[in-house]
Chain A
Amino acid sequence: MKLFNENLILADVVSENHLLFPVINRLGVNLGFKNSTIKTICAENKIDIEFFIEIINVFNNENYFPQKKLQQFSVLTIINYLNKTHEFYRNYYIAEIDKLIKQLLNNDNIESKVIRKFYQNYQNELIEHLKFEENIVFPYIIELSNLDVKKLPAKMKINYSINDFEKEHSNIDNKISDLRNFIIRYLSVSYDNNTCNSLLSALFLFEKDLQNHTRIEEKILFPKAKFLEKSFTTK
């Protein structure tokens, strides 16, 4: 798979892989690309072009993940992108999947009941997790990145450590794949094929998006934060 570069026409890139549209959206570009190149569009919208290119390549090719390059972007650039991603999850995927689950499993069969409940618990857990990142973890990392090592008080009080936090991610990724497998493998009651089809597409896309999201947090943002934490604690 070839990597995208800044000289390509954005409309062509999106035509080649339309799943990139929401990603481009999150990066700050809206529809109406005309025939402009990525370079021009990024300049017009004041978007960090290198970050833009790397993110669309990471999304376009699930095996591509240039860790070193990505770690060079600033904490703010990364967090800004992650926050927008969260917003998109809430407004789009979570809302959509919730609606489709209720529509598909709208009977009192035990099977429907337990899967519905499984999803409800998962959704609550996920929303809680996103909120926690936005309200506690991200501000904490931004604060870390703003602190001047020299001006630091003798005893820094680190009230939150990134290490405590990573475990939650694998749990969230596992449960969405479990849900998809319930729908594909283990449904036996009669259900509506069209609803099922829409639900599966949404689940597939969300699962893939989440995996990328987790990777950016765990392999890029958190290592940066840990590095900052370490530089303070060793003082």
Chain B
Amino acid sequence: MINNTKILVINKSDIILLGLNDLLKNSLSNEIIYINSADELENYPHLMGYIIVLISENDFYQNKALINKQLKNATKIAYLFIELNSDKISANTINIYENADSITNKINELLSSFKRNISNKNELSKREIEVLKLLTKGLSNKEIAQILFISTYTVISHRKNISEKTKIKSTSGLTIYAIINKIVNIEEISTSELI
């Protein structure tokens, strides 16, 4: 997940962008996107997941609304301010006079704080297994809701969690998952076309 976090650098100055690129590319394996202004974000419409934004404090306040709008699919955004004034050094800023190690350390700290946020619950719960079993029988969300006395909305939410945990998204894929992991028997599957 740490490696999936993207780093977005926004600054008018090409010298700063290229300088940061030189400094970061060897110490981080994350994808780094460099743009000159927040307006260019419209060319990157599918940014999602965890994102660290490096931007000057001034640019940040001027473009806050635009950035939030363009990064609406992000799971979590963290900011580090790019600071050009040599006097201002603090934990949430990157000062351009700082040494390379100190800059990458600050980014790495943010990356690990993301990691702590991600819980590690990969096992399916009892309820999720019940939902999965009914899914493999070819039942719709509504039918499953009626059988389990829960709302359709809850079924959809269970399905989403099942897919997140198993990384399998399609219904026929989930059926295969249930067979391989011996959650259901092949004989129980109504849609024989799968096998």
Contact = CB atoms under 8 A, between A and B. Distances in A.
Q: Do A and B come from one complex?
A: yes
Interface of A: 1-2, 61-69, 110-111, 113-115, 117-118, 121, 171, 174-175, 177-179, 181-182, 185-186, 188, 215, 219
Interface residues of B, number: 27
Interface of B: 6, 31-34, 42-47, 166-170, 172-173, 176-177, 179-181, 186, 193-195
A67 B167 contact: no
Contacts of B44: 63-65
A220 B130 CA distance: 41
Contacts of A171: 170
Contacts of B46: 62-63, 65, 215
Contacts of A69: 43
Contacts of A181: 166-168, 173
A117 B195 contact: yes
Top-5 shortest CB links A-B? A178-B173, A174-B169, A66-B43, A181-B167, A63-B44
A234 B45 CA distance: 30
A37 B75 CA distance: 41
A118 B180 contact: no
Task: Say whether chain A's binding surface is mostly helix, strand, loop, or mixed.
Answer: helix
Q: Which of A62, A178, A182 has the most CB of B within 10 A?
A: A178
Given A110-B186, A186-B181, A121 B42 contact: no
Contact of A178 (B170, B181, B186): B170
16 contacts: A1-B34, A63-B33, A64-B43, A65-B43, A65-B44, A67-B45, A114-B195, A115-B176, A117-B194, A121-B172, A171-B170, A174-B169, A178-B169, A181-B168, A186-B177, A215-B46
Given A64-B44, A110-B180, A117-B195, 7 more contacts: A1-B33, A67-B42, A114-B180, A117-B194, A174-B173, A175-B170, A182-B173
B156 to A, nearest CB: 15
B169 A111 contact: no
A66 B47 CA distance: 13
A185 B172 contact: no
Contacts of B186: 110, 114
B32 A118 contact: no
Contact of B193 (A111, A121, A175, A179): A121
A175 B163 CA distance: 12
A64 B40 CA distance: 10
Contacts of A67: 42-43, 45
A121 B181 CA distance: 21
B42 A68 contact: yes
A2 B34 CA distance: 8
Nearest to A177: B169
Contacts of B176: 114-115, 118, 178, 182
A121 B186 CA distance: 17
